[in-house]
Structure 1
Amino acid sequence: MTQPESAVHDYDVVISGAGLAGSAAAILLARRGVRVALLERRSDPEAYKVLCTHSISANAYPVLEELGLIPALEKAGAVHNDARWYTRWGWIEPRAAPDGPGLPHAYNIRRSIIDPMIRSHAAETPGVDLLLGHRVTGLVREAGRTVGVRASTPQGEREIRARLVVGADGKDSAVAKFAGVPAREYENTRFAYLAHFRDLPLRGGIGQAWFLEPDMAYAFPNDDGVTVLAVVPDKKRLPAFRDDLEGSFLDFVRALPEAPPIDSAERVSKFIGTVDYPLYSRKPTAPGVALIGDAALTGDPVWGVGCGWALQSAHWLTEAAASAATGRGDLDSSLVAYARRHRRRLLGHQYLAADFAKARPFNPIERLMFSAAARDASLARHMHLFASRLIGPLGFLSPRALAKAAAVNLRHRRATVPRAR
């Protein structure tokens, strides 16, 4: 049951975490008349997430547009995130159809740029109070539901009450923990290291990804001439990387098909990585609580979808719950609607990603689709839509798409098998 209107609230919504998801939610909610406390445990307004693909997939472009961030991103040098992908059948190179619209895109931009940008935008939005140095240490609960948070602040402990508490505090979400929301964990049998390089030319000037079955790698051009280069090998290779991280990283990159000339580039960051990065899925709501971004669902970094899903989930929550958060509707039913949409839009993607995180070769369906996409322009565009999360697994593997892929591969075999004399 939603809180009675006699309840006293300091704010309508308290959000824990002022990264992409939390700041976007604060802006969108406040524009709809919601009073928001945006809590950030770090005191530095320029703080940013370090371990990230630094890419926002095209599914989030409408959210960036609604936030009003497109001009600022373009001015900051954000790069359109077009890409090509290597497979054992050759390169998949999506291109716009002749006389058709351009391929949908969003942006590659380093978190050191976009995190302070969106946080500042939130702080300037009427109705948002950005509270830096506020770390959630517990939840305030009454009658079986959450009605606020307890936070450690530079001035001491503080209690902040609200109709809704939003956890935008990452994969190890304290809000989820305090609310008793369990996480379903999927093992990731790859590890990852990345570094930033300046003056690293890429073919076509666009992103590259390598599906090496089971290893992975990608290179994404970013703002200011910096490329994010990541290697994501099977954990069987971890001992060698631990013995010599830099040497193993460079050797891995040098061995890539059409390898970028890494030895001529300048490394401008440390090697950043994780040897254990499981995927998490949580029910995105509890009484008086909603989870967005990585707090609700942590994807596999090989797909570069976390930033896009962070922005989308902030938008979905706003659309479902903004009115109820101000007392003009039933909050519980609004959270049910948000959870339903989140599950419908993302769990299929997460299921496929969790299966692929087992560091296995392509399965038969993947072999069919990837091989055909390397041979056919329309299927390459279809692959681009899926990689951009603009279509879901059912659309990607529709009967029509599977039939098209089978026909493409059959024509290819007929064209390459020598005729008997």
Structure 2
Amino acid sequence: MQSVRTQVCVVGGGPAGVMHGLLLARAGIEVVVLEKHADFFRDFRGDTIHPSTLELMHELGVLEDFLALPHQKTPKINARFGDYEATVADFTHLSTQCRFIAMMPQWDFLNFIAAFGRRYRTFDLRMETEATGLIEEGGKVTGVTARTPEGDVEIRADLVVAADGRHSTIRDASGLHVEELGAPMDVLWFRLPHKPDDPETTTFFFEAGHVVILLDRGDYWQVAYIIPKGGFDRIRARGTDPFFAELLRIAPFLADRTSELANWDDVKLLSVQVDRLGRWHRPGLLLIGDAAHAMSPIGGVGVNLAIQDAVAAANILAGPLRAGAVREEDLAAVQQRREFPVRVTQKMQLMIQDHVIRPLLGKRGALKPPLPVRLADRVPMLRRLPARLIGVGVRPEHIETAEDPAARVGAARIGAARGGGASAAA
């Protein structure tokens, strides 16, 4: 078995993993990031880049290059309850560099960060390398085993950071306890064409028994159709005609394009789960992002919260890693820093799930807009609070790790390469 030695092994090439790897490598720390797929070109749910993440791009000095990538700006979010429509979140008053959500394919975001990382000799992103388990010695995690097309490999490291998502292999291997918080819903995820005379903003449609979210992606609508938990088989058994009839009752302007969905193969089921670890760490091991706390899709904050974890972990751990002595107290400090915003955000998500989504999915008859929506419609200043919670979060992080000039391998401008391949972003 091939053996590799590094200071930090990050498992998972998603937003949290690649960002954490970049920040540590930028600080001169040797990092190996493992991504099990050959490229980033996949249909993700988390394609919303919030103002908090755009602020990090500014702090890294690459915001202009980043926004050169194709994206759509969402400065406001609307909600429609029957015939009543109101703006419920207005990002234009945030005290950030960018006062909008950038709708951008996650593969473009990941390729961009990976390209940035390759400017540092200490950054090693290994595609088609799937972590399979932990290496432990004397009660401490000392690395991971992984599978590659060329054979198995072990990566020995001073620290393993698990950022491999809500179905984390490393979390399963760690033995850490997961608290399931529950979710009353799943999401059907599909695309429909966007036409010039369509509405120009991301909109949440609430009807008795239904919630539909239309995300404006320029030339297409990304549709999130919320259904009761475990209800997809029943919907599919009824056939596509009743399904489309319900969709068109909610958003009639889509009537001339549902034929674009040939069959159920064009509809992806996203199973919603909300959970968190009671303890995010063991000696030699730290979990961040969805591996530590799977978020509800409400607010679309999961990706951005995971990136905040990555930044906080880099801020706290760069010094101990540079000194060659990461204690479990340092890992505990990451959880202490990030657990509060996670708990508060999940609490708000659970309240919306239990008091809005669940009753709505079971409701029949006419639907009235809730009082907070009516108040936000009448008092525009009230739209700033949800914008702050969604766009910036409970405890935003800022980059405190200094760049190590010796780690640089060049100063080339980061390209805006597209196509999803790892090599395309280099």
TM-score (norm 1): 0.79
Structure 1's 101 and 111: CA in aligned 2 closer, same or farther, altered over 3 A?
Answer: closer
Q: 1:212 to 1:342 in 2, by over 3 A?
A: farther
Aligned partners of 1:53 and 1:318: how far apart in 2? 22
Aligned counterparts of 1:244 and 1:162: Cα–Cα separation in 2:
52
Q: Quick check: 2:191–2:222 contact (8 Å CA) kept in 1?
A: yes
Say if 1:16 and 1:169, in contact at 8 Å, map to a contact too. Answer: yes
Q: Which residue of 2 aligns with 1:195?
A: 190
Residue number in structure 2 paired with 1:156:
151
Q: Which runs of 5+ in 2 are unaligned?
A: 361-368, 396-426
Q: Distance in 2 between matches of 1:69 and 1:249?
A: 44
Q: 1:241 to 1:113 in 2, by over 3 A?
A: farther
Q: Which runs of 5+ in 1 are unaligned?
A: 1-7, 393-421
The equivalent of 2:224 in structure 1 is 230
Q: Is the Cα contact below 8 Å between 2:167 and 2:291 reproduced in 1?
A: yes
Q: Aligned-pair distance for 1:203?
A: 6.2
In 1: Cα distance, 2:290 partner to 2:317 partner: 19
Q: Distance in 2 between matches of 1:290 and 1:162?
A: 12
C-alpha spacing 1:338/1:132, structure 2 compared with 1 (3 Å): same
Deviation string 1:366-406 (CA, Å, 9 cap, x unpaired) is: 944333213210112222222324347xxxxxxxxxxxxxx
Distance apart, 1:147 and its partner CA? 1.1
Per-residue deviation, 1:29: 0.8
Number of aligned pairs? 378
Please, which of 342, 350, 367 is the counterpart of residue 354 of structure 1? 350
- CA distance in 1 between partners of 2:388 and 2:16 (Å): 23
Pair 1:296–1:386, CA change in 2 (3 A) = same
After the TM superposition, which residues 327-346 of structure 1 pair with which residues of structure 2 at under 5 Å, given as runs? 327=323, 330-346=326-342
Change (3 A) 1:213 1:53: farther
Residue 185 of structure 2 aligns to a residue in which SS?
coil
C-alpha distance in structure 1 between counterparts of 2:24 and 2:99, whole Å: 27
Question: After the TM superposition, which of the residue ranges 80-89 and 125-134 deviates more from structure 2?
Answer: 80-89
Number of the residue aligned with 2:245: 251
**Could you say if the C-alpha distance between residues 368 and 101 of structure 1 is closer, same or farther in structure 2, counting changes exceeding 3 Å?**
same
Instruction: Give 2:54's match in structure 1, choosing from 50, 61, 73.
Output: 61
1:21/1:314 contact within 8 Å kept: yes
Structure 2 partner of 1:71: 64
What's the CA shift for 1:361?
3.4
Question: What letter corresponds to residue 245 of structure 2 in structure 1?
Answer: D
**Residues 49-58 or 14-23, more deviating:** 49-58
Matches within 5 A, 1:16-31: 16-31=11-26
CA contact (8 A) 1:134 1:151 kept: yes
Mapped contact 1:58–1:390 kept (Cα < 8 A): no
Q: Report 1 or 2 for greater relative contact order, CA contacts < 8 Å, sequence distance ≥ 6.
A: 2
Q: Work out which of the residue numbers 68, 74, 84 in structure 2 matches 1:81.
A: 74
* 3-state SS of 1:220 partner: strand
Counterpart AA for 1:149: V
Counterpart of 2:407? Answer: none
TM-score (norm. length: structure 2): 0.78
Q: Which among 293, 296, 303 is matched to residue 299 of structure 2? A: 303
Q: 2:313 corresponds to which residue?
A: 317
1:374 and 2:377 equivalent? yes
User: Which residue type is aligned with residue 374 of structure 1?
Assistant: D
Secondary structure (helix, strand or coil) at the match of 1:339 reads: helix
Which residue type is aligned with residue 133 of structure 1? E
TM-aligned CA deviation for residue 189 of structure 1: 1.8
Judge conservation of contact 1:18–1:119 (CA < 8 Å) in 2: no
**1:40-55 equivalent positions in 2, closer than 5 A:** 40-42=35-37, 44=38, 46-55=39-48
Amino acid at match of 2:383: A
- State the secondary structure of the residue aligned to 2:212: strand
Displacement of 1:344 after TM fit? 1.2
Q: What SS does the corresponding residue of 1:205 show, helix, strand or coil?
A: coil
Contact 1:84 1:94 in 2 (8 A): yes
Q: Alignment identity in percent?
A: 21
